[in-house]
């Protein structure tokens, strides 16, 4: 389905009936990353999978897509569907967007799940790396994509999930260089939202890959200390929906029941 948001075409999919679960994909991904998870969850819930700005079949909305821009777009889609309360689940960049959403619209949230994501802002070193990535995309965005995707899996899994890596890469190659850069710029300037971990009135789950190449395990643990955040750890990398599919589905189902 398509929805026009500020003259920008936004694509989303709906399946199932029941309480609403909103699934937000990560950087260089699209709503199809949720296919297996959505198939299971839709047996008891209404599942909304949205292509984020500049990704999948959703158009670009500007030179920079801030996490707040993305959250406001998601809210517009959910308002269009006449939904008032929902659980938000976000992978990686999708997790950053769920936190921005929680900051802007806390009254609408029943629960929040961050999957392979963090509430911290980019460090100065990370910002420099974002700028390097932007320059690489400007030079050749297809080469950037082909290098970036395999690096999201833990080292030993890169040879195990070759067909999945190929599929994800082929889909990511459809993203325009503008869409990639707009997200990199937006992630670079996102805010530290660890305060939501401490002050939220709704349950929060954090899914961690212990060998996640994109995130520091100890910093993820530290930011949840003295909070009510439910931490679930898997032994692999950044792509828990592929590297730990069944365990992830079980963990998400348990979390949804607590919301």
pTM of the predicted model over 0.85: yes
Residue 16 structure tokens: 């199932």
What's residue 245's pLDDT?
A: 97
Q: Which among 55, 47, 33 has a CA at the least distance from the CA of 167?
A: 33
pLDDT tens-digit readout, 27-64: 999 999 999 999 999 999 999 999 999 999 999 999 99
Q: Where are the domains of the chain?
A: 2-258
Per residue in 53-104, pLDDT (tens digit) is 999 999 999 999 999 999 999 999 999 999 999 999 999 999 999 999 999 9
Joined tokens for residue 159:
């040879």
Question: Domain spanning 2-258 has what CATH number?
Answer: 3.40.50.1820
Please state, in angstroms and rounded to a whole number, the distance separating the CA atoms of residues 248 and 238.
12
87 in Cβ contact with 98 (< 8 Å):
no
């Amino acid at each position: 389905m398509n929805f026009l948001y500020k003259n920008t075409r936004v694509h989303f999919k709906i399946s199932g009936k029941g309480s609403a679960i909103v699934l937000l994909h990560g950087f260089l991904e699209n709503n199809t990353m949720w296919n297996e998870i959505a198939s299971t969850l839709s047996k008891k819930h209404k599942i909304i999978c949205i292509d984020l700005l500049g990704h999948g079949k959703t158009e670009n909305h500007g030179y920079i897509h801030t996490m707040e821009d993305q959250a406001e777009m998601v809210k517009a889609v959910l308002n269009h569907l006449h939904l008032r309360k929902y659980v938000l689940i976000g992978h990686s960049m999708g997790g950053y967007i769920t936190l921005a959403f929680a900051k802007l619209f806390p009254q609408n949230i029943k629960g929040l799940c961050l999957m392979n994501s963090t509430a911290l802002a980019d460090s100065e070193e990370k910002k420099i790396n974002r700028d390097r990535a932007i320059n690489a995309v400007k030079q050749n965005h297809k080469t950037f994509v082909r290098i970036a995707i395999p690096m999201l899996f833990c080292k030993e899994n890169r040879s195990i999930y070759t067909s999945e890596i190929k599929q994800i890469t082929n889909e990511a190659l459809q993203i325009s260089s503008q869409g990639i850069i707009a997200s990199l710029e937006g992630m670079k300037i996102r805010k530290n939202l660890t305060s939501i971990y401490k002050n939220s009135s709704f349950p929060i789950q954090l899914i961690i890959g212990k060998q996640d190449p994109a995130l520091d395990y100890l910093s993820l643990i530290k930011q949840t200390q003295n909070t009510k955040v439910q931490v679930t750890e898997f032994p692999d990398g950044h792509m828990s929906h592929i590297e730990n599919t069944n365990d992830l589905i079980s963990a998400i189902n348990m979390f949804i029941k607590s919301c």
